[in-house]
Amino acid sequence: MEIERIGIVGAGQMGGGIAHVCALAGYDVLMTDVGQEALDGSLALIRRNLDRAVERGKVVAADRDAALGRIATTMTLSDLGRTDLVIEAATERETIKQAIFEDLVPHLQPHTILTSNTSSISITRLASRTDRPERFMGFHFMNPVPVMQLVELIRGIATDDATFTACKGVVDRLGKQAATAEDFPAFIVNRILMPMINEAVYTLYEGVGTVTSIDTSLRLGANHPMGPLELADFIGLDTCLAIMNVLHDGLADTKYRPCPLLVKYVEAGWLGRKTRRGFYDYRGEGDPTPTR
């Protein structure tokens, strides 16, 4: 089937990034959120990012303007029923995602494909709560979406070949690289990445190293572009904890037990960059300072 109209649920960092790349690739995009402020903020960020791309010579001004013209917003979830593909990019909580799909399904066209940008939750289980498990799959973009080239495609147990082929076609049109993952907790990227971040938090918790020494060691010793604690702040500590809980619950292996220090930071509301405090404090005017 031909996909030309894409609906996006969630105007946060991921949803806005997905809207950006889809519109730039020529898709008509309809983005929804529960608040107009979130939608307006997302559109403003997309414009700033596209302006920056024009300044750097990566996008021509005419393509920027055309992309912005393809993005529409709505606070009414049912409006997404007229799209060909829906990408859910809401908070990484299964109950929220299930509620979104239950509200959306009655308004969908028969051919509409449903996907989730979940980074860890079972695609088969999410699909089972809809009327179209064969037209449901995982569509996991990496953050930041305009920069990162990978998209994980995850088939649920019922996903049919036509749905996979259509979604793979979207990834190709976006100019990104697809990696196919099986539907097991956290898929590929986060199955490997999150335990590394959790182990870095344990290393801090046990006093083996400081925030600075741990991040410096992985940047310079393993040639990582960002230290694991800095990366955790960028991702969001609540998201890291949610994924570790999915791994721990889904695989029943103690090696995936979330570090108590990670739990404590989340309980304190120190979630990283988005709250301006996590393993680093971002509230000052200079460089972020370690909080431990």
Is residue 181 within 8 A of residue 154, CB to CB? The reply is yes
Integer Rg of the chain from CA? 19
- CB of 180 closer than 8 Å to CB of 206: no
- Structure token digits, residue 45: 């960020």
Annotated catalytic residue 78: no
Q: Is position 152 annotated as part of the catalytic site?
A: yes
User: Would you call the peptide bond into 144 cis, given omega within 30 degrees of 0 as the criterion?
Assistant: yes
The residue from 88, 140, 198, 230 that is catalytic is 140
Local structure of residue 258 (DSSP, 8 states): P
Q: Rounded CA gap, 279 and 236, in Å?
A: 10
Whole-angstrom distance, CA of residue 135 vs CA of residue 162: 8
Q: What are phi and psi of 269, to 5 degrees?
A: 80, 15
The verdict on whether 140 is a catalytic residue reads: yes
One-letter amino acid of 124: T
Catalytic residue among 92, 94, 152, 230: 152
- Among the listed residues 42, 117, 120, 190, the single catalytic one is 190
Q: Are 121 and 246 in contact (CB under 8 A)?
A: yes
Query: Coil, strand, or helix at residue 29?
Result: strand
Instruction: Evaluate the CA torsion angle 258, 261, 263, 265 in order and state its sign.
Output: negative
Place of tokens 């019922």: 158
* β-pairing verdict for 71-74 and 85-88: unpaired
Active-site entry in 119, 120, 122, 198: 119
- Assess whether 245 carries a catalytic annotation: no
Residues 138, 140, 145: CA angle, nearest 5 degrees: 150
Known catalytic residues are 119, 140, 152, 190
